[in-house]
């Protein structure tokens, strides 16, 4: 499993765009990059997944450069309710169960 | 939107007692998981389950733990002879065959061992 490194914490004002970068220098050819969000006292929630270039959904965008050694989760115009821990995970897609290995994540605090 | 449910939301037990944590995964999902999160720490994988058997388990998942899918809807985690250090939030998750990393987590059961 590729090791990931992301900032421990970030602060942002409401309405701003937030970019959280994750480093995964040892990412393997078959690895996907996935981001989860966790609110206090709740289970993690899938946000977005990508393999290369850019992926966008209704919640966020994920930017992956050509070398795939890092990725950036972009949250547009954050609100107070986006305060959470954000996890970057990297792993392949073998047939069968795919177990998630969470790091410490990035604690995002949105300030009014 | 379908969701994973877990019961109870909070369980208090005495050291040495057995507990069973229950989960109802999303109905058409095939893969089931248990994770735990000790207060203030990261989410840790315990075990995955597919086709009525354990697919993979972590070092944490020793003989004290067992999982079962007793019927078509429930997925349980049994902890025998609980220890103080088993106090944690336990999350159940499920996924289907097409979303390898899109696991759907339940709200968790907070286990407190006294």
- Residue in the structure block whose two tokens are 């057995």: B18
Q: Which of B44, B48, B58 sits opposite A97 (nearest CB)?
A: B48
CATH number at residue B93: 2.60.40.10
Please give the C-alpha separations between residue A26 and each of A69, A72, B105, in angstroms, as whole numbers: 7, 16, 28
pLDDT at A95 (0 to 100) = 39
pLDDT at A1 (0 to 100) = 60
Report the C-alpha gap between B28 and A11 in whole angstroms. Answer: 39
Q: Grade residue A97 by pLDDT with cuts at 50, 70 and 90.
A: very low
Is B31 in Cβ contact with A91 (below 8 Å)? Answer: no
What are the two backbone dihedrals, phi and then psi, of residue B86, each rounded to the nearest 5 degrees? Answer: -80, -10
Q: How many domains does chain B have?
A: 1
The residue among A89, A110, A103, A109 whose CA lies nearest residue A27 is A89
CATH of domain A9-111: 2.60.40.10
Looking at beta carbons, which residues of chain A come within 8 Å of B105?
42-45
Q: What is the pLDDT of residues B87-110, one digit of tens each?
A: 999 999 998 866 556 889 999 999
Strand order in the sheet with A61-64: A18-23, A70-75, A61-64, A53-56
Looking at beta carbons, which residues of chain A come within 8 Å of B43?
38, 44, 87, 100, 102
Is B44 in Cβ contact with A44 (below 8 Å)? Answer: no
Domain boundaries, chain A: 9-111
Q: What is the pLDDT of residues B56-76, one digit of tens each?
A: 899 999 999 999 998 888 999
Q: How far is B67 from chain A (nearest CA, A)?
A: 15
Looking at beta carbons, which residues of chain B come within 8 Å of A42?
105, 107-108
Nearby residues of B55 by Cβ (< 8 Å), 6 or more positions away:
A96, A97, B31, B48, B49
Q: How far is A45 from chain B (nearest CA, A)?
A: 7
Residue length of chain B? 114
Q: Which domain holds residue B84?
A: 5-113
Q: What is the pLDDT of residues A16-61, one digit of tens each?
A: 999 999 999 988 888 889 999 999 889 999 999 999 999 999 999 9
């Amino acid at each position: 499993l590729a090791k990931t490194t992301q900032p421990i914490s970030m602060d942002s004002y409401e309405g701003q765009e937030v970019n959280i970068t994750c480093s995964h220098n040892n990412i393997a050819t078959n690895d996907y990059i996935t981001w989860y969000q966790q609110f206090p006292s709740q289970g993690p929630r899938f946000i977005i997944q990508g393999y290369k270039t850019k992926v966008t959904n209704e919640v966020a965008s994920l930017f992956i450069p050509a070398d795939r050694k890092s990725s950036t989760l972009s949250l547009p115009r954050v609100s107070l309710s986006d305060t959470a821990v954000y996890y970057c995970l990297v792993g392949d897609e073998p047939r069968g169960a795919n177990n998630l290995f969470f790091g410490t994540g990035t604690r995002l605090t949105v300030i009014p | 939107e379908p969701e994973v449910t877990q019961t109870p939301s909070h369980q208090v037990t005495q050291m040495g007692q057995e507990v069973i944590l229950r989960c109802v995964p999303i109905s058409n999902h095939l893969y089931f998981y248990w994770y735990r999160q000790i207060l203030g720490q990261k989410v840790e994988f315990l075990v995955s389950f597919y086709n009525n058997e354990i697919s993979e388990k972590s070092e944490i998942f020793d003989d004290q733990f067992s999982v079962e899918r007793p019927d078509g809807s429930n997925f349980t985690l049994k902890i025998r002879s609980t220890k103080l250090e088993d106090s944690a939030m336990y999350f159940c998750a499920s996924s289907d065959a097409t979303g390898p990393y899109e696991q759907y987590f339940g709200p968790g059961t907070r286990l407190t061992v006294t």
